Amino acid sequence: MARTTDSDLAPHELRVLVAVADTGGFSAAADTLGLTQSAVSHSVRGSERKIGAVLFDRGRTGARPTSAGEKAVAHARRILRLLDVLTTEARGAAGPDAAEGPLRIAAFRSAALHLLPPVLQRLSARHPGIEPRVRIVREVGRGTIGEVADGKADIAIATLGGSVPLPPGLVARGLLEEPYALVHPTGHASPRSLPLVDWAENCGSYTRDWWAAQDWIPKATVEAEDDGAVLSLVSGGHGMAIMPALSLAGAPTSLRITDLGPNPPTRQVGYVTTSELVGSAVVRALVRELRATVPRGTGLLGAEA
């Protein structure tokens, strides 16, 4: 039987690292964990000694993870979550598909609004013991995938196929191909002549080549906070926008959605989880409902020619 060594971090030491990172200081972490500040400090120093690296920059304003600390905390979160899943499934499993306990989901805004609700409804009906916790994350930078990599989410609804490689230890699977369309005020005679309204999350590397080849698309004159704000501005007659289908679901009648031609840009929407959690009952249950609920094929909504 394998034995622990003096260099192994115990679960309580991992919880201290996570608490310090989440609260931003030793004192706040101590309050969260019900420990003394000296106990937290002692635990962190012990973890740093075992790992052989400084994990936190200490200062008068608190403690921030170093580069080594960020990696250590991310691994700590994922290990602690796996221990929780192990305990839940071992204690209460009535069969291979038994699923209960919390399920942390990270999703970008349009997926959370238009894709997840029917999925979670089916999940709740089939697995009332699962407790979904959805966090909406902007799909910029590391986006929803970063939440999984950092151990803050069990599964992410994410845009796949960008220029940033998938972090080690993660598993990605596609769900649907989401087409883009032109959206503009209803009744406008020449929508392509309107100013462009855009937002930071739109048109990543998966559409960059198509976008660069379109000489009719002007530089954005209005930058909105999110896709909902874009729709509001376009509906108010302030311009046109090029948007993915999920963002256009349920668009008001004041807007017209027009096809972009025979080869429109698309983005792939899928899910990302860790190699450890991909086989867990809660993640498998959500994936089953995602695959049973998402639209078939490439078209999510009908655009006018």
pTM, rounded to two decimals: 0.87
Q: What is the mean pLDDT of residues 225-253?
A: 92
Give CA–CA dist 120/104, Å, rounded.
Answer: 12
* Whole-number pLDDT of residue 239: 93
The residue that leads in pLDDT, 284 or 4, is 284
* Whole-number pLDDT of residue 92: 65
Q: What is the mean pLDDT of residues 88-115?
A: 83
* Whole-number pLDDT of residue 95: 58
* Whole-number pLDDT of residue 302: 37
Give CA–CA dist 82/34, Å, rounded.
Answer: 23
- Mean pLDDT, the chain, integer: 89
Residue 301 has pLDDT above 80, yes or no: no
pLDDT band at 66 (very low <50, low <70, confident <90, very high): very high
* Whole-number pLDDT of residue 162: 74
Chain segment 245-284, per-residue pLDDT in tens: 999 998 888 999 999 988 888 989 999 999 999 999 999 9
The residue that leads in pLDDT, 40 or 220, is 40
* Whole-number pLDDT of residue 81: 95
Q: What is the mean pLDDT of residues 295-302?
A: 48
